[in-house]
Chain A
C-alpha cells in the first residue's frame, strides 16, 4: 500500500510536470530584447482568408522596414510579432494574449470582425493601443474603449456614398447582394438605409451568396429576371471577381457595382474582361494618393505581389502607431492614445487620416473606380 502511494505521488507529479513542461517549449514568450521595440500583428495567416491576412501582414512589415531604415523609433529597431488568427474567436483570444504576453506596445489587424471584438477587450485591459485596418463592424468602436482605432471607413459612410452614386445615375431599381459576413452584410444594410432616403429608388432584390461557392449563376439569373438598374455586390474580392464575370456573361441588365473589399488586383484577374464593366466604391487607392506614390512600387518590389484591398489601411495603421511613438517619445498606451486622438490629417497612403472621438476614421474620401487596360482608374 505504501509503495503504491509513493508510486502514485511520483506519477502524479510526473503528470503535472509534463503538462506544464510543454508550455515553455510552446510559446517562447519573450520579453523584447533590450534595444528593440515590438509591435504586434494578428490576422489569418492560415485558412481560407490567408490571402488577405498575409497581405496585411506584408503591409505592416513594410511600414516597420521603412521606419527601421530611418533609424527605427526612439533609437531602437522595431520588430514585428505576427500571430495567426484564422477567424475563429477562441483562437483570436489566444493570439491576442500571446501578443500581450510578448510585450508588444501596439497592435494592428485583424481581418475578421469576429476576431477584432473579443481581442479588443484583451488589448484594452492591457492598455495597448489597437488599430484595425480591415474591421468595419461599427460595434468595435462602440464598446467604450478609448484605445481602439480604425483606419478603414465604416459601413455607414460607404453605404451613403454608394447610394449617392446610384442616385447620380438616376437608377430606380437596385439589387443588393451580400455574403452574410459582418462586413458585407453591414455595407449592404447601410446602403439600403441610405437608399431609403432617396424617394423613387427601390431595393428590388436583397439577398446573400455563400462565400467560396463560386457558382452564382442561380442567384444572378434571378436578379436578371427582376431587371435592376444597378446591382451592388458588397462581398469580398474572391467572390466579387467571379460574381462580376458571371454577371456579364449571363447578360444581366444594368450596371454592376462592388464594395471596397474588391479594390485589389485579384478582382481584375478573376473578373477578366468583365472587370471593365464594373464600378467599385472605395477609398482612393494608394497609387492615386500623391503622398503614397512609392507605396505600391515598394510593396510590389518587396513581395512580388500587388497590394490587396486592405494593405494600404494596414500600412497606415502601423505607420501611424510608429509615428505616435516617435512623436510622444513614449510607448505608454495612454500617452499614445491621447496623441492619436489629437492627430489631424496625417498623410497616409489611403489619404489624410484624422480619428474621431470614438476612434473611427473621420471622413474617408470615397471615390468610384473602374478598370481600364488591367488597371484601376478613377471613374469620377
Chain B
C-alpha cells in the first residue's frame, strides 16, 4: 500500500509538469492549429530565467523571507518567458499565418533548435545547479516519503490551472480567445483584435511553461539546455491524450500521463514504460479519435 501511495505521489508530481506544459501546447493549437515544437524549450528557458534571477540576487536570496522570494522566482521568469513566447509568435509564426499548415511547423522546429543552441553556447553545455529556495524538509508517513517541494508543486499547478480556466471561461478576453479558436475570420469581423489575442495566448502559454520550469529546477536540482525537448514531447502527447485544443483536457491528459508513466515504470518495467504509455495513447485515440475530452468536431460538408 505504501508503494502504491508513493507511486501516486510520484505520478502526480511528474504529471504537474506535463500538465502545465501541455496547457501551452493546447492553447496555441486551439487558436491557430499549430503544434508549437518550441514550447518545450520555453519551459527550459523558464528554468534558466529562474536560475539567473537567483544567481543575480546572490546572497540576498538567502536573507529574504520565503514569502517574498518564492513569488518573485515565479513571477519574473513567467513574465519574461511569456514575453519571449509572444515575441517569437510575432517574428516567426505570424508571417506564416496563411501558409500551408506544415510550414510553421518547420519554423517551430527551427526556433526550438535555436533556443537550445543559444542556451548550450551560454552554458557550455554544462549542467547548472538550481539552488533550492525551499526548505529541504521531508515528511514520512510510514514508508511514504513526501518532500516540501512535492507538497507545493501539485497545489501550485492546480492553482495556476484554475486561474487559467477562470480566465478563459469568465473574462471577456478569454471569451474572445475562445471565439478565435472557433472561427478566426468571423471573430475578426466581430471586431476582435485577433493579432493581440494570439499574442496573449502565446504569452500565457509561455508563462505557464516557465512556472513549470522553475518548479522543475527546484525539485530536481539541476537543469541543462536539452531538458525541454523530451518533456515537451511528452506534454504534447498528454495534450493530445486529453483532447487537443481543450484546456481541461490538457490538465487531465498531463496528470493521466504522469500517473501512467509512473505506474508503468513502477509496476511493469522501467525500460518499456514509454512503449506502454504510447500504446495506451494509441488505444484511447482508436476508441475516441479526438482524445478523452476532445470535442466532437462536426464536419460541415
> In the complex, are there CB atoms of A and B closer than 8 Å?
yes
List chain A residues, Cβ under 8 A from B3: 221-222, 224-225
B261 and A50 contact, CB distance less than 8 A: no
Q: Which of B127, B226, B265 contacts A222 (CB 8 A)?
A: B265
A218 and B221 contact, CB distance less than 8 A: no
Within 8 A of B (CB), among A18-73: 46-48, 50-51, 54
B138 and A219 contact, CB distance less than 8 A: no
Q: Which of A210, A213, A218 has the most CB of B within 10 A?
A: A218
Does B143 lie at the interface of the complex (its beta carbon under 8 Å from any beta carbon of A)?
A: yes
Does A266 lie at the interface of the complex (its beta carbon under 8 Å from any beta carbon of B)?
A: yes
In the complex where A180-B271, A210-B274 touch, is A238 in contact with B127 (Cβ < 8 A)?
Answer: yes
List chain B residues, Cβ under 8 A from A47: 226
Does A250 lie at the interface of the complex (its beta carbon under 8 Å from any beta carbon of B)?
A: yes
List chain B residues, Cβ under 8 A from A269: 127, 129, 222
Within 8 A of B (CB), among A172-227: 177, 180, 207-210, 212-215, 217-219, 221-222, 224-225
In the complex where A212-B227, A221-B6 touch, is A251 in contact with B265 (Cβ < 8 A)?
Answer: no
Q: Which of B124, B227, B262, B266 contacts A214 (CB 8 A)?
A: B227
In the complex where A51-B127, A214-B227, A215-B10 touch, is A251 in contact with B273 (Cβ < 8 A)?
Answer: no
List chain A residues, Cβ under 8 A from B147: 249
B10 and A221 contact, CB distance less than 8 A: yes
**In the complex, what residue of chain A is closest to B147 when comparing beta carbons?**
A249
A242 and B220 contact, CB distance less than 8 A: yes
Give CA–CA (A77, B246) in the complex, Å: 64
- Give A167 Cβ to nearest chain B Cβ, in Å: 26
Q: Which of A46, A212, A213 has the most CB of B within 10 A?
A: A213
Give CA–CA (A340, B118) in the complex, Å: 42
Q: Which of B13, B230, B270 contacts A219 (CB 8 A)?
A: B270
**In the complex, what residue of chain B is closest to A215 when comparing beta carbons?**
B14
Does B125 lie at the interface of the complex (its beta carbon under 8 Å from any beta carbon of A)?
A: yes
Does A272 lie at the interface of the complex (its beta carbon under 8 Å from any beta carbon of B)?
A: yes
List chain B residues, Cβ under 8 A from A54: 124-125
Instruction: State the majority secondary structure of interface residues on A.
Output: helix
**In the complex, what residue of chain B is closest to A245 when comparing beta carbons?**
B221
Does A241 lie at the interface of the complex (its beta carbon under 8 Å from any beta carbon of B)?
A: yes
B230 and A213 contact, CB distance less than 8 A: yes
B143 and A48 contact, CB distance less than 8 A: no
B265 and A218 contact, CB distance less than 8 A: yes
Q: Which of B10, B125, B138, B271 contacts A217 (CB 8 A)?
A: B10
List chain A residues, Cβ under 8 A from B125: 50-51, 54
**In the complex, what residue of chain A is closest to B10 when comparing beta carbons?**
A217
Q: Which of A180, A217, A224 contacts B143 (CB 8 A)?
A: A224
In the complex where A207-B269, A215-B14 touch, is A305 in contact with B263 (Cβ < 8 A)?
Answer: no
List chain A residues, Cβ under 8 A from B6: 217, 221, 224, 250
Q: Which of A209, A212, A251 contacts B270 (CB 8 A)?
A: A209
Does B187 lie at the interface of the complex (its beta carbon under 8 Å from any beta carbon of A)?
A: no
- Give A374 Cβ to nearest chain B Cβ, in Å: 13
Q: Which of A219, A266, A272 contacts B266 (CB 8 A)?
A: A219
Does A270 lie at the interface of the complex (its beta carbon under 8 Å from any beta carbon of B)?
A: yes
Does B126 lie at the interface of the complex (its beta carbon under 8 Å from any beta carbon of A)?
A: yes
A249 and B266 contact, CB distance less than 8 A: no
Give CA–CA (A209, B262) in the complex, Å: 12
A250 and B145 contact, CB distance less than 8 A: yes
List chain B residues, Cβ under 8 A from A272: 221
Q: Which of A54, A180, A207, A241 has the most CB of B within 10 A?
A: A207
- Give B280 Cβ to nearest chain A Cβ, in Å: 16
- Give B135 Cβ to nearest chain A Cβ, in Å: 14
List chain A residues, Cβ under 8 A from B14: 215, 217-218
**In the complex, what residue of chain B is closest to A304 when comparing beta carbons?**
B124
A51 and B143 contact, CB distance less than 8 A: no
Give CA–CA (A54, B121) in the complex, Å: 12
**In the complex, what residue of chain B is closest to A49 when comparing beta carbons?**
B125
Give CA–CA (A47, B125) in the complex, Å: 8
**In the complex, what residue of chain B is closest to A205 when comparing beta carbons?**
B270
Interface string of A241-257 (1 = CB under 8 A from B): 11001000111000000
Within 8 A of A (CB), among B247-265: 261-265
A270 and B222 contact, CB distance less than 8 A: yes
List chain A residues, Cβ under 8 A from B120: 46, 50
Give CA–CA (A270, B143) in the complex, Å: 25
List chain A residues, Cβ under 8 A from B261: 218
Q: Which of B6, B11, B226 has the most CB of A within 10 A?
A: B6
> Shortest 6 CB-CB distances between A and B: which pairs?
A208-B271, A50-B125, A218-B265, A217-B10, A207-B270, A218-B262
Interface CB pairs A-B, < 8 A, 14: A207-B269, A207-B271, A210-B273, A210-B274, A218-B261, A218-B265, A219-B265, A221-B266, A241-B222, A242-B221, A242-B222, A269-B222, A270-B127, A270-B129
Q: Given contact pairs A224-B143, A242-B221, enumerate 18 new A-B contacts (beta carbons under 8 Å).
A: A51-B125, A54-B124, A177-B270, A207-B269, A212-B230, A214-B227, A217-B10, A218-B7, A218-B11, A218-B262, A218-B270, A218-B273, A222-B265, A222-B267, A225-B3, A241-B222, A270-B127, A272-B221
